[in-house]
Structure 1
Amino acid sequence: MAKYAGGSWYPYSPSLPAAIVAVIVFTLLFGLHTFRLFSTRTWFCIPFVVGAAFEIIGFASRLYGHYVPSNKTVYIVQTLGVLLAPILFAASVYMFLGRIIRSTGFARLAIVRPNWLTKIFVGGDILCFLIQALGATMLVTADSKSKMDTGKAIVLVGLVLQIIIFGFFILVAIMFQVRLNKALRLGKTVNCVLDWSRYMYWLYAVSVVITLRNIYRVVEYEQGVTGYLMTNEWVIYVLDALPMAVVLGLTATWYLGHIEPAMEEQSDELQVLSSA
């Protein structure tokens, strides 16, 4: 990847105040999630804590990059930290849906059963993480245009794949909720302490925010290093840092401890709904 004026890896002088605010915000959210994690032992939320740490490292590196804009290692660390954090958030989002489904006692209504849901989506998430990490590393360490193009293409593949996986995930969630609502209209009842409907809508909100951020990243990398999105610093804070802070804020309420699975409902009506 070519350097900019003065040997800087940035097309601008990284904003010190913006980086400081980002580090403070994500440090506070990291502290909140860490406290909630250990106080409730909700271990499926570990990726939220790790992702928040990635954000801190990423924006702390941007802060340091203000003073050493020609330091390649610092630039690589900030790129990877900010780019990869949302993939970790997505892992917990996928696992949360499985817990919601099991808590209702109507797991058979899901088009993907909870035990497979986590394996499929978290497995896809890990694949996206590896692809994007590989592509971003190749891009920022490239010493020729062909290598830059290859790195860019790999990052785009990872981002587009993540959007596709999230789209299918949202479809799975919507189909389950539609089928469960039909079952409730048939007189079935959900016997669980979890307010499943409210958390489903929160899950949708978080999923949409992460997806919109990923779309921004696709456009950014498609434009390339000379594009508007990559050459204007405000964009990364408004379209990446802010949405991810919102995601961490919303998901801080997901630490519910052990969610006891409800006894699975069995009936002819449910058999019909599950095959619809």
Structure 2
Amino acid sequence: MKTLDQYGEVYIWNYIPSLPAAVVFSLLFGLATIVHLWKMVYTRTWFCIPFVVGGIFEEIGFTARACASNSNDALLPYLLQAIFLLLPPVFFAATLYMVYSRVVRAVQGEAFSLISPRWTSRVFIIGDLVTLNIQSTGAGLLSLPDLVLIGDYIVVAGLGLQVLMFAAFVYCCAVFNIRFRAHKDKTRRPKNGSWQSCLNILYATSLLILLRNIYRMAEFIMGNNGYLMQREWPTYVFDATLMLGVMIGFFIWYPHNLRAGSGDIPLTSCNHFSVEL
């Protein structure tokens, strides 16, 4: 029977990680990453590279978690899963920002965007890099007993900043959505739901990432003795499942064929979810 072992004089895990759960999600994220890589190459949507990187991080994280199941006293698997499971939403978000910019340019809607499409990606991606550095720095301190509390605070700060950025991004999408729809209704241009479909998948995936980040914030705020860190199931329900949902949804409603200056988005782009709001 497996036992919880110490690393030096401390326990780095509060429970023995589930091997079956880690293996299943490692395989699922590995498969999702492969199909995303194929889709990106096939459609030449190179702006989706960060999304693929996020999938690779998820796969590495759960593989390390599977290794930790039989070696819960080893520091390396713990650090790998802590870091590689914390950071993927940053990479997913980078692609979402670029999708928004391409949607706006594709429908020639620059005048209706709260921020210029040229600067939207830059501003939010720079913010992403800042949160990436903050979170990775905090995650790196989690293995040091004397600095765990400081690491928690740093991670919470990074997650909080990411939540604020995502809220600002969703607001930016909503403003463009309202303004551009009003323009189309006023000018009586032929309706094409594809641009709306692309925005809808941005809303859906952003909501999942927001929920995941709020969960992570709560986890670190409650601390090592809190309910969320003392049990494993929240990690799979509020993190792994939500991030897998992001990858699946983004693949089904893939934002391919976005061409700047086309006057509208071709019906072949994001056309699996052409719901008019």
Query: Shared fold by TM > 0.5?
Result: yes
Q: Which residue matches 1:90?
A: 93
| Residue type of the alignment partner of 2:223 | G
Q: Which residue matches 2:171?
A: 171
**1:23 maps onto 2:22 in alignment:** no
- CA displacement 1:146-187 (0-9 Å, x = unmatched): x22211111011000000000000110000000011111212
Mapped to 2, the partners of 1:183 and 1:72 lie a distance apart of 57
Q: Secondary structure at the match of 1:136?
A: helix
Q: Which residue matches 1:272?
A: none
**1:189 maps onto 2:195 in alignment:** no
Q: How does 1:107-186 map to 2 (within 5 A)?
A: 107-140=110-143, 142-144=144-146, 147-186=147-186
Unaligned runs of 5+ in 2: 265-277
Q: Secondary structure at the match of 2:242?
A: helix
Q: Secondary structure at the match of 1:262?
A: coil
Mapped to 2, the partners of 1:220 and 1:148 lie a distance apart of 14
Residues 48, 88 of structure 1: 8 Å contact kept? yes
In the superposition, the TM-score normalised over structure 2's length comes to 0.89
| Residue type of the alignment partner of 1:36 | K
Calculate percent identity across the aligned residue pairs: 35
Q: Which residue matches 1:271?
A: none
Shift in CA distance, 39/11, structure 1 to aligned 2, threshold 3 Å: same
Deviation at 1:253, TM superposition (A): 3.8
Aligned residues: 258
**1:222 maps onto 2:224 in alignment:** no
| Residue type of the alignment partner of 2:168 | F
Mapped to 2, the partners of 1:206 and 1:119 lie a distance apart of 20
Q: Which residue matches 1:246?
A: 245
Deviation at 1:6, TM superposition (A): 3.8
Structure with more relative contact order (C-alpha pairs < 8 Å, separation 6 or more) = 1
- 1:54 corresponds to which of 49, 54, 57: 57
In the superposition, the TM-score normalised over structure 1's length comes to 0.89
Mapped to 1, the partners of 2:232 and 2:100 lie a distance apart of 35
Residues 40, 256 of structure 1: 8 Å contact kept? no
Q: What is the aligned-residue RMSD (CA, Å)?
A: 1.8
Q: Secondary structure at the match of 1:186?
A: helix
Residues 100, 196 of structure 1: 8 Å contact kept? yes
Deviation at 1:51, TM superposition (A): 0.5
| Residue type of the alignment partner of 2:12 | W
Unaligned runs of 5+ in 1: 266-276
